[in-house]
């Protein structure tokens, strides 16, 4: 019995193209993706093998030549089906940059980012454009003009083949209602649906409206509010375990990791009146 092939995974980036990043995976059958979301547009070109793609309530089997389409905020997962080595290029594209290339018709009301209704595409030009961009990012000998041209061609293909719809932008007043709701209910296990109800908008509009107006997603703002409360409690000398529980964290370890990630200091260090050694 032959040994399984080793997974190869690389993240391809270039300082001249900050608007895109590609994860290039070969023999990725051992990878396991839980359902998650991104704050940008994502497009996955399946280069080999087959996989099961879940997005929202739908599940689709995709194979070599297919492209999966993921809008910002879409809960999704893609995992290999057995039989053949699974390879793909997953493109992450800045939504603001893409929006500038998918303009709404003249005279239309101001809208937010473009949204794609299709979950997959079998368009050969789109698949090839993603792989070609990946090849260019992988090479160290491409000119600025070539790299930028690959991106612009890809954006044109996305617009012309997937025909994005535009969602209405959320008014600052409605966003403020959602922000105030977060500030009042930060200790609760809040749902995105509840915030959308307060803001009178859809999930993607809410997430991107928060990013535009406040510089962070609703979830990031909720964590920030909890950390602020935790800092106040720690300054009072409260026990770390009780602070973690009272401030809405799953457990003390989760609180410690989050606190250190945001403040570059442990809760114990912050709580102490004596500076820790360098």
- CATH number for position 249: 1.10.10.60
Q: What is the mean pLDDT of residues 175-193?
A: 90
| Residue 249: C-alpha distances to residues 183, 194, 231, 233 (Å) | 16, 19, 14, 14
186 and 219 assigned to the same domain:
yes
How does residue 192 score in pLDDT terms, banded at 50, 70 and 90? confident
pLDDT at 1 over 50: no
How does residue 277 score in pLDDT terms, banded at 50, 70 and 90? very low
Measured between alpha carbons, how far is 252 from 262 in angstroms, rounded to an integer?
Answer: 15
Q: What pLDDT does residue 147 have? A: 92
| Residue 58: C-alpha distances to residues 51, 55, 67, 165, 192 (Å) | 14, 5, 16, 20, 19
Q: Residue 55's closest CA among 11, 108, 118? A: 118
Measured between alpha carbons, how far is 204 from 149 in angstroms, rounded to an integer?
Answer: 29
* 221 vs 211: which has the higher pLDDT: 221
Domain termination site, one of 167, 195, 220: 167
Q: What pLDDT does residue 111 have? A: 54
Q: Is the pTM of this model over 0.85?
A: no
Query: How open is the CA angle 169-226-265, to the nearest 5 degrees?
Result: 115
Q: What pLDDT does residue 112 have? A: 64
Q: What pLDDT does residue 198 have? A: 93
Helix %, strand %, coil % of the chain (to 5):
40, 20, 35
Percent of the chain with pLDDT over 90: 51
Q: How many domains does the chain have?
A: 2
Measured between alpha carbons, how far is 94 from 19 in angstroms, rounded to an integer?
Answer: 5
Query: Which domain, by its residues, includes 66?
Result: 8-167
């Amino acid at each position: 019995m032959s040994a399984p092939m080793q997974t190869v995974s690389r993240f391809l980036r270039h300082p001249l193209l900050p608007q895109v990043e590609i994860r290039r995976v070969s023999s990725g059958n051992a990878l396991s993706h839980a359902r998650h979301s991104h704050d940008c547009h994502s497009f996955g070109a399946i280069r080999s093998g087959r996989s099961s793609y879940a997005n929202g309530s739908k599940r689709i089997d995709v194979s070599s030549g297919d492209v999966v389409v993921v809008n910002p905020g879409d809960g999704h997962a893609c995992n290999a089906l057995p039989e053949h080595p699974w390879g793909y290029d997953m493109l992450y594209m800045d939504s603001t940059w893409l929006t500038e290339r998918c303009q709404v018709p003249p005279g239309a009301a101001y809208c937010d980012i473009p949204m794609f209704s299709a979950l997959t595409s079998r368009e050969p030009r789109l698949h090839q454009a993603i792989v070609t961009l990946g090849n260019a990012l992988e090479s160290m000998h491409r000119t600025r003009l070539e790299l930028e041209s690959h991106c612009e061609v890809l954006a044109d293909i996305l617009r012309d083949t997937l025909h994005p719809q535009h969602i209405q932008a959320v008014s600052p007043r409605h966003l403020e209602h959602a922000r105030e709701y977060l500030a009042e209910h930060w200790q609760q296990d809040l749902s995105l649906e509840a915030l959308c109800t307060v803001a009178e908008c859809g999930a993607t509009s809410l997430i991107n409206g928060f990013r535009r107006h406040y510089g962070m997603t609703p979830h990031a703002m909720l964590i920030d509010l909890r950390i602020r409360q935790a800092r106040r409690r720690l300054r009072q000398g409260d026990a770390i375990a009780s602070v973690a529980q009272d401030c809405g964290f799953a457990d003390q370890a989760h609180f410690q990791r989050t606190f250190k990630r945001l403040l570059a200091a442990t809760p114990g260090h912050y709580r102490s009146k004596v500076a820790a050694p360098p």
